[in-house]
Chain A
Amino acid sequence: DAKTTQPPSMDCAEGRAANLPCNHSTISGNEYVYWYRQIHSQGPQYIIHGLKNNETNEMASLIITEDRKSSTLILPHATLRDTAVYYCIVRVEGSNYQLIWGAGTKLIIKP
């Protein structure tokens, strides 16, 4: 079973920041938070991952709360091409290779 909880859907206006929340209240100390997205009819695409510090790359930023029970993925300037289902996954680095997927958040970017 997925160890994360995400809202089923969200809207965001094009050009604005999209903030996608994820709850992982049972996360263990050595479990990382991973984000993937899946654009319709395509394979999942890796976005970012982190343990406890905030992370940023060319695609997004990941903000993890101090107690690590929740996190937020931020797409700073959403475009129509960011419309996708976004999955938040927790896993143990280097051991639990299985990615356990929930239902994700369907993000719709509106013009």
Chain B
Amino acid sequence: NAGVMQNPRHLVRRRGQEARLRCSPMKGHSHVYWYRQLPEEGLKFMVYLQKENIIDESGMPKERFSAEFPKEGPSILRIQQVVRGDSAAYFCASSLGPAKNIQYFGAGTRLSVL
């Protein structure tokens, strides 16, 4: 019963370092979504990927943030030169496809920038 797996669960970085967040979707799911959540707020959409393709990155900051979902391996959300404002919980979700669009979420990665 492997759900969406995210790692690490907690990540601490100093300002200026890089953060890499990984997400393995549920078995059979080829669509991945990344969301960011600030304390006491709802989730905010960042990016939607299908295997090897970025479908929609409209919610992702133009600088320092990038995402990929290679043919083999997990999806990666990469944040370069982190700043304190990047501190948040980052959630990954997966679905069978946009038509089968129940999104199932992982437990999240909590990024703290010192």
Contacts and interface: CB of A to CB of B under 8 A. Distances in A.
Question: Do A and B bind?
Answer: yes
Interface of A: 2, 42-46, 49, 87, 91, 93-95, 97-104
Contact of B43 (A42, A94, A101): A101
A98 B42 contact: no
A43 B59 contact: no
Given A42-B107, A43-B91, A43-B108, A101 B42 contact: yes
Contact of B103 (A42, A46, A93, A100): A46
Contacts of B99: 93-94
Contact of A97 (B101, B105, B106, B108): B101
Given A2-B42, A87-B42, A99 B4 contact: no
Given A43-B4, A44-B91, A98-B59, A93 B101 contact: yes
A32 B102 CA distance: 11
B45 A99 contact: yes
Nearest to B98: A97
A103 B41 CA distance: 6
18 contacts: A2-B42, A42-B107, A44-B43, A44-B105, A45-B105, A91-B101, A94-B99, A95-B98, A97-B48, A97-B56, A97-B101, A97-B103, A98-B33, A98-B48, A99-B45, A100-B45, A101-B42, A102-B42
Interface of B: 4, 6, 31, 33, 35, 40-45, 48, 56, 59, 91, 93, 95, 98-99, 101-108
Contact of A101 (B44, B48, B98, B108): B44
Nearest to A36: B105
A34 B4 CA distance: 19
